[in-house]
Amino acid sequence: MILTVTLNTALDLTYRVPALTPHATHRVTQVIERPGGKGLNVARVLAALGHETVATGFAGGATGAMLRDLLAATPVRDELVATAGPTRRTVAVVDTTTGDTTQLNEPGPAITPAEWAGFRTRFTELLDGARAVALCGSLPPGIHVGAYAELIRLARAAAVPVLLDTSGEPLRRGIAARPDLVKPNADELAQLTGSREPHRATRDARRRGAHAVISSLGPEGLLAATPEGLWRAAPPAPVKGNPTGAGDSAVAGLLSGLVDEAPWPERLTRAVALSAATVLSPVAGEYDPSAYEELLPRVKVTEDSVSP
């Protein structure tokens, strides 16, 4: 099975409005509720691809209970750890005229030392039988910035490949713990390395400890620095829609390729096709299956001549 970790889960609310205008009252035409947070988005996509998937992290309060009810309706196995504080909400307002999305993210509940200790114990237990683990998203209040580095070391001790998808100081600390993959976007890479030149920043991030670095270049696709070489992967044409969750779907594609022992070009092809198919879906954590199948043979993957 594939294990995903979402320490800062969320109840995702998507509001669709005909047009989003500042300082105006809006009539919402559709409300969609989903279990959210980056790792849960990844888990739902992996499950839709047919992988046995287990989700852990934290959930609490009335919003946490609602999240778990929604998660129970999916193939993802719920191994979330209860907290006293309520799970946060995230609100995405989609302007259906332009396709633009405005995101509002609450900070999340404060996690106590006892709750963190309980999670570490459950995480260690779940590593037994895991083929890969994904550590995704922000840290809620109360958890130290080295938390992901701590979990990476536990996964490495259990010989379980680990993918890290976070930002800021948790990314800086985590990458030094030598994860198998990291997937930052261009802004996260620039914050980590001080460079906005994709090749330089991706190679620098890999030298900091990651086995492979897959940099998200937005509509231009992915740049991957791996032990086998440097690769670029891009969709056949720009896609318009809701980008929320597109990066999480890319993570799911990379994990799917990892556990299937696919070569790097195939892993990147899955990641780019899933990401683009998610942009075409109105809800984070979901993708358009027909678009995915149509995009798969059309993703452009090239090996770069620059040494990683």
Mind listing the pLDDT tens digit of every residue in the chain (308 residues)?
999 999 999 999 989 999 999 999 999 999 989 999 999 999 999 999 999 999 999 999 999 999 999 999 999 999 999 999 999 999 989 888 887 888 899 999 999 999 999 999 999 999 999 999 999 999 999 999 999 999 999 999 999 999 999 999 999 999 999 999 999 998 999 999 998 888 889 989 999 999 999 999 888 899 999 998 899 999 988 887 777 788 999 999 999 999 999 999 999 999 999 999 998 886 655 898 988 999 999 999 998 765 44
CB of 233 within 8 A of CB of 253?
no
Distance from the first to the final alpha carbon of the chain: 31
| 204 noted as active-site residue | no
Q: Write down the pLDDT at residue 271.
A: 96
Catalytic residue among 248, 260, 288, 304: 248
148: left (phi over 0), alpha (psi -120 to 50) or beta: alpha
Q: Write down the pLDDT at residue 130.
A: 97
Dihedral sign for Cα 147, 153, 155, 160, please.
Answer: positive
Q: Write down the pLDDT at residue 199.
A: 87
Instruction: Tell me which residue of 105, 88, 44 sits closest to 256, measured CA to CA.
Output: 44
For residue 123, what is the enclosing H or E element?
Answer: helix 113-127
